Structure 1
Amino acid sequence: MEQELFELNPNPVFIFELDSLQIVKVNQAFIKKYGYREKEALKLRLTDIQSSNGVAGGLDEMTSGYKNPEIIREDSVEHISKDGEHFYVMISSHPITFKNKRARIVFIHDVTDRVEAEQKAQKAFDELSQHVNNSPLGMIKWSSSFEIIEWSDRISEIIGYSREEVLGKTPYFFQFYSEDDLQIVENEMSAIQAGEKNKTRTDIKIYRPDGKLIDLRVHASAIRDNNDQLISTITFVEEITRQKRMRLRYQRLFENANDGIFLMKGDTFIACNQQVCNIFGCTKDEILGQTPADFSPEYQPDGNPSLEQARKVIDKALTEGPQVFPWRHQKKDGTLIDTEISLNSISLDEDGGYVQAIVRDVTKQNKDQEELRRSEELFRKLFLEAPSAMVMVDTQNKVTKVNQSFEQLFGFEKDELLGRDLDQILGSDEDAPRMTEEGLKGQELYMDIQRYNKEGEKLDLLLSIIPVYLDDKPIAGFGIYVDISDQKRYERELKRSLDEKQVLLEEIHHRVKNNLAIVSGLLQMQMLSVEEPRLTSYLQDSQLRIKSMAIVHEMLYQSEKLSQINMDSYVKKLVRVISNTLSPENKNIQVEVKCNECTLNINQAIPCALNINELITNSFEYAFKGRQKGLIEVKVIEKEGVITVEVKDDGVGLADNFDELRKTSLGISLIENLVKQLDANLDIDTGEWGTAISFSFNKADVGGSSSSGRV
């Protein structure tokens, strides 16, 4: 049975003595492969059929693997046939005993095709390495069992390991970012080894020896022999860390963009960002797979069908280049929105036909533009048709726009005004505000001015100035002119009339004062001719009352205000007159006045003055009987609109029968009537210390004549 296996084996088989290397037996397959007849073959030694090419150690190296009887050798070696043909064989030898001698039986498998394929692959790899080392790609060659057999310089730079560190290592040597990355590599290795794939491309993450995490894109190509058996695998590696980061950044920009962005294959949505969902009011799942027509009304505002129009602009984007156009979209809830669309064709694969679209919701923008247009139209109508003359100037004070009222007021045509300095056109007798590059020169925004029309006529005008600023910088100014020539004329006439009345009123007060002085003088003359003391006293009281009124009129015509009396000055002057008239020669009576700043109109000042006159006169006449000196205090105080008048003396006090006397006394009766006229409250206090009489009333601009009728 063993003899038949030896003879009938389809592969060459021979036996050689281990000590002499003499071939002692061959089979028919050996004779056919090597070209020797059996007798010729039995004269050969092992070294006669084995080439020494590439064997540095000569015979010992060639036969070292056969001399150890305990080793079963499997190796690939180069053999030579009788006619000198070189071929590669895979040998496996086993120790045996042949005719009582140590021997080896050798089984031959022709692997010439495989070896030559490996040599070609190696040569191609070596040639490719020359190019790869100068490119951004790193190259790795793996054995059929995925052990590293070649490692380029560039891959050392990318991954960080030297050639010596990785030769003979498998992919498990490297530290992958995750189990998922390792699983991807294992799946690709299995597919290549099983013959399911010859080319693969994978993206993985690994750690360099320095701990840096890098992204790699690995392109693998399997090299197989004629029997489709895997010989080796070459992988080209590029670092895509930067690209990955850029892609992640782009993805974030894509998702977080303010505008909607979507990708179409033809007219079908295949990707979109969140803003598209916000614009259309639906989810991504509801958008993807649909077409622009599904989110548009049946017809666009121009009357064209949305479906037909969408296909036209997409075709133009694919054939003619970028397209930008307005589009009316319809949200999921049926709401119509205005958008601006930008279409651009992009290449993602060999098939082409991809379009990127940017959608911007311009509904609010269109509304704002419409509102702006309406505002501009309203402003235009307001400006052009305003009844007041209006002009707009630039920062050089040059006219840029006028309305019809301005032309009519000043008599100029618009073409005569535009581009000219406003002040030079209208002329001015005084400095006027001007628009400059720094803003308005002169801060008064409302004023009366005089300007000239085209005919040279002077016009009285009310000018309103409105400077316009943008970002705190002046850009223009508006002037609004109102013709007030008639009002100014009326004002001048009224002022002239008032001036005349002022002079007349002063003259009236002056004449009243003079007339009262004449009456006072007559009374004085009458007193000189009367010997009765009682009658003289009456005449003197009347004279003082007349003087108190005369002082009022004297102060009025001397005052700038013909209706207001300064009570401080008045009371002090009145006290001097009374003191000079009534002070006895043999007594020392002092009068002190305390009056804060207050004024009264004539209709309150006269009754108040008459009352003060009566009270001081009474004190002089009755308070100091039997005494050589005395003090009279006069106070006129205003506080929160209330006038308080008090006349106080340190005399003997009122008589016990004062209540009876006040019923018949003309002076007391006069005081009480004047107090009523002022709507005042009279307060009388007396005792051994003296007498104090006071009254208070509300300050008011009382109209009408004096109180003489009531008194």
Structure 2
Amino acid sequence: MLSELNIENTLGLPLIRSKKLAVALIDTKLKFAYVNDTFYNITGYTEQDILNKSVTKFLAPSLIKEAWQEFFFFLGNGYNNRSNWIFSHKDGSHIHASVENSKIKIGKKTYILTIALNVTPLTELRERLLETQQLLNRTEGISKSGSFKYNPDIEQLIWSEGMFSLFELDPQNGIPSISQQVTLLSEEDAKQYKNVLNSNSGKDADFELCLNFEGNRQKYLHIICHREKGKGNWIFGYSRDITQQKLTELETYDKERKYRTLTESLPSIIWTANHEGYLNYMNRYGLDYFGKEGTTLEEWRWKNFIHPNEIREADQQWFKALEEQQFLSGINRLKARDGEYKWFQVLIVPQKNELNEIEAWTGIATDIDKRVKAEESLSISNTRLKALINASPVAIYSITVDGVVRDFWNPAAEELFGWTREEVIGKFLPHVYMDQQQEFMEMLENAVKNGAFNKRIHRKDRSGTSVITDITGGCIYDENSKISEIIVTVSDVTELERNRKRLQKSLDEKETLLQEIHHRVKNNLAIVVSLLQLQVFRSENAKEKNSLLEAQNRIISISMVHELLYKSEDFNSVKLDEYYNELFRQISNNMQLNHTNIKQDLAISIHSLNMNQAIPLGLLINELATNSYKYAFGDSTKPGVIFLEIKRVDNNVHVTYRDNGPGFNMGLDGIKSGLGMKIIESLLQQLDAEYSMNSDGLFEITFNFAERLNNSLEN
């Protein structure tokens, strides 16, 4: 048992009575043999709690094993590896202590003198500082930031862990000097960075730098520097990675530039305004339209440019949009620089922040003046067309490809069929009865195939009365080239059809009568020809016979016209090719000549000719052919050829007659004053023809006359 006297003599009263140092004697079994009052005060234990109790009882559980190892190490080597230990206070809290151990002998026994200094406040402060530093490092890591301080007088630089991350450097390689840092900067940024760190102005600084890494990689930093008075010449700095923000700003700027370029190129008025609606931007198209400059937008008032008749309504719409914070849309007339008003489609959209508050307005006005005027013109045209349709005496309505009445059924349709517009809209055509539907649908299919149809058919009105109608339909197509509707016009041709039948009957009767007249005229002329033929047979005078034959040929040429007319379906015109072939045959027979080698070359390209011109032309050709047979060929054995060409040149009939006889002297008095030549000239005058003759080595006459219509009654 240790006595207090032995303890005092061994340790000394100053150590035993120390208020700061906790003193204990521990035996070789690691049990407390003695502790001073300070030990009790620090740990909160009593003498009964501590003496003869193992030291490990008062250590943190995690340290017990290490305490035994340290104890045996101390016994063997006389010194400790560890000096900081954690003890348990009686209330359960931890006590941090700095411990020094040494061996002493009291009497014959060896003890371990343990002197401990309570460093709990210092340890807690150190732990808080460490936690703060760790928190700062984590915060800097999350926020991609770092802090530093620099003293230009002593060129001392201190970095936080975040600065190494910003500059992408390993902390183990130490803090780079200012000279090393600026190697990552452009010349301009390096100059600014050095000026800020070496400035003696005492002013704070706020600036941006761009770090340039390998591979054209860049990082943007926002740096704030602050000098505190009374802190020496230290500069405290904060750096933050703003690369993403900078890239966003650059991207936003690029988008803004593209947006401005786009707005400047669009043929629309585009503007922006603040939350109250005051303009702060307008594109060039708008400025040119209004005749303004961008610098005058602060004085802009929309009421100076909106048509006076629309200002009140525009104001109401604007204040409503402000109150409801909604977009504004409308059509307004805006005044141009020349004072003319044009129609514009106006859309104004609010730009809101995250709090759903309006920060700005964006507006666009598109020129629709031509469209509005075209719509007005179309509306007028539609109104006129509607009035025309309603006033039309012809029934007009529209149907689908299935025969259902669409959207109009004019009054004439109501009057013709008896059903009102309200009764037929949206329904199948009421005047198409069951027995007519198949025929009607076939007609619609034909319309779909060909785009239109026309047919004359019988229909019954509401009262059951039969009506003969002339129906015409035309298809209307949509933008996809599909039939959207069929416009149908219906004319009541009942009376017209009755009149046509009466006229046809009358015409048939007249045609029969006219045919009979031509037939009787031909027969009468045939009697005259027969009488002349009898006279020829009786006459013994050659000159008289020739005169009778010529007269006979002339009558035959007239008779043949009437014969062709009563045989033809057309009583107004004569078929020329038939006529002249028969005429030449009759002349050849009547002349009773032996010239069997006379040939006719006919080139007749005109199919028919008006009767009033066919008769004088026939008499004229008869006269020419008779003269050719009589005088051109004579007793010559030379093959004779008569050429006749009748063709149409422009609107004139062109005739060429030629024979290959020897010709004759046109200057002889007998020829000029002869009956034949007088007849020829008389017939040419009757045709109102221009002519020319050639009798040198042949005979040829060419003449032209204007062709008359079949119904012409001119002589």
Where on the TM-score scale, by shorter chain, does this alignment land: which range? 0.5 to 0.7
- CA pair 423-287 structure 1, distance change in 2 beyond 3 A: same
**Aligned residue for 1:16?**
none
Of 228, 252, 260, 1:247 maps to 252
User: Take 1:630 and 1:404, find their aligned partners in 2: how far apart are those partners?
Assistant: 79
**Aligned residue for 1:170?**
178
On the 8 A contact 2:632/2:659 being kept in 1, the answer is: no
**Aligned residue for 1:22?**
none
- CA pair 176-616 structure 1, distance change in 2 beyond 3 A: same
On the 8 A contact 2:572/2:610 being kept in 1, the answer is: yes
Instruction: State the secondary structure of the residue aligned to 2:350.
Output: strand
Of 360, 380, 385, 1:382 maps to 385
1:413 equivalent to 2:420? Answer yes
> How far apart are residue 171 of structure 1 and its match?
8.2
User: Take 2:591 and 2:508, find their aligned partners in 1: how far apart are those partners?
Assistant: 41
**Aligned residue for 2:361?**
357
Instruction: State the secondary structure of the residue aligned to 1:168.
Output: coil
> How far apart are residue 634 of structure 1 and its match?
3.2
Q: List gaps (5 residues or longer) in structure 2.
A: 1-115
> How far apart are residue 671 of structure 1 and its match?
2.6
**Aligned residue for 1:679?**
688
Of 363, 372, 376, 2:375 maps to 372
> How far apart are residue 669 of structure 1 and its match?
2.9
**Aligned residue for 2:292?**
282
On the 8 A contact 2:269/2:282 being kept in 1, the answer is: no
The one-letter amino acid paired with 2:138 is Q
**Aligned residue for 2:145?**
139
User: Take 1:704 and 1:304, find their aligned partners in 2: how far apart are those partners?
Assistant: 72
Of 369, 372, 397, 1:391 maps to 397
User: Take 1:242 and 1:424, find their aligned partners in 2: how far apart are those partners?
Assistant: 76
On the 8 A contact 2:306/2:335 being kept in 1, the answer is: no
> How far apart are residue 467 of structure 1 and its match?
1.0
**Aligned residue for 2:621?**
612
**Aligned residue for 2:348?**
341
On the 8 A contact 2:645/2:656 being kept in 1, the answer is: yes
The one-letter amino acid paired with 1:551 is M
1:543 equivalent to 2:549? Answer no
> How far apart are residue 571 of structure 1 and its match?
1.8
1:208 equivalent to 2:213? Answer yes
> How far apart are residue 572 of structure 1 and its match?
1.7
User: Take 1:327 and 1:460, find their aligned partners in 2: how far apart are those partners?
Assistant: 48
> How far apart are residue 441 of structure 1 and its match?
3.3
On the 8 A contact 2:221/2:239 being kept in 1, the answer is: no
> How far apart are residue 507 of structure 1 and its match?
2.3
Of 440, 463, 488, 1:455 maps to 463
Instruction: Report matched runs for 1:217-236 at 5 Å.
Output: 218=222, 220=224, 230=234, 232-236=236-240
User: Take 1:698 and 1:572, find their aligned partners in 2: how far apart are those partners?
Assistant: 22
- CA pair 571-165 structure 1, distance change in 2 beyond 3 A: farther
Deviations 1:416-460 (A, max 9, x none): 322234497475785678779x99432336666655433343232
- Could you say which structure has the higher helix fraction? 2
Identity %: 20
> How far apart are residue 547 of structure 1 and its match?
1.2
- CA pair 416-617 structure 1, distance change in 2 beyond 3 A: same
> How far apart are residue 249 of structure 1 and its match?
3.8
The one-letter amino acid paired with 1:235 is S
The one-letter amino acid paired with 1:494 is L
On the 8 A contact 2:432/2:459 being kept in 1, the answer is: no
User: Take 2:403 and 2:168, find their aligned partners in 1: how far apart are those partners?
Assistant: 73
TM-score (norm 1): 0.66
Deviations 1:595-631 (A, max 9, x none): 2322332222222222222233233334444545651
The one-letter amino acid paired with 1:379 is N
Of 643, 647, 655, 1:644 maps to 655
- CA pair 639-461 structure 1, distance change in 2 beyond 3 A: closer
The one-letter amino acid paired with 1:443 is G
- CA pair 218-451 structure 1, distance change in 2 beyond 3 A: farther
- CA pair 582-398 structure 1, distance change in 2 beyond 3 A: same
1:130 equivalent to 2:141? Answer no
> How far apart are residue 668 of structure 1 and its match?
3.3
- CA pair 160-593 structure 1, distance change in 2 beyond 3 A: farther
1:149 equivalent to 2:159? Answer yes
Deviations 1:567-599 (A, max 9, x none): 3322221111121222335x5442323223223
On the 8 A contact 2:417/2:431 being kept in 1, the answer is: no
The one-letter amino acid paired with 1:454 is R
Instruction: Report matched runs for 1:284-303 at 5 Å.
Output: 284-288=294-298, 301=310, 303=312
> How far apart are residue 524 of structure 1 and its match?
1.9
Instruction: State the secondary structure of the residue aligned to 1:210.
Output: helix
**Aligned residue for 2:699?**
692
Instruction: State the secondary structure of the residue aligned to 2:656.
Output: strand
- CA pair 185-496 structure 1, distance change in 2 beyond 3 A: farther
Instruction: State the secondary structure of the residue aligned to 2:570.
Output: coil
Instruction: State the secondary structure of the residue aligned to 1:194.
Output: coil
User: Take 1:454 and 1:302, find their aligned partners in 2: how far apart are those partners?
Assistant: 56
On the 8 A contact 2:399/2:485 being kept in 1, the answer is: yes
> How far apart are residue 123 of structure 1 and its match?
4.9
Deviations 1:342-367 (A, max 9, x none): 3344369xxx97621122326x4488
> How far apart are residue 686 of structure 1 and its match?
4.4
The one-letter amino acid paired with 2:257 is R
**Aligned residue for 1:73?**
none
User: Take 2:167 and 2:335, find their aligned partners in 1: how far apart are those partners?
Assistant: 51
User: Take 1:226 and 1:310, find their aligned partners in 2: how far apart are those partners?
Assistant: 60
> How far apart are residue 413 of structure 1 and its match?
2.2
Moved more, 692-701 or 662-671: 662-671
**Aligned residue for 2:676?**
667
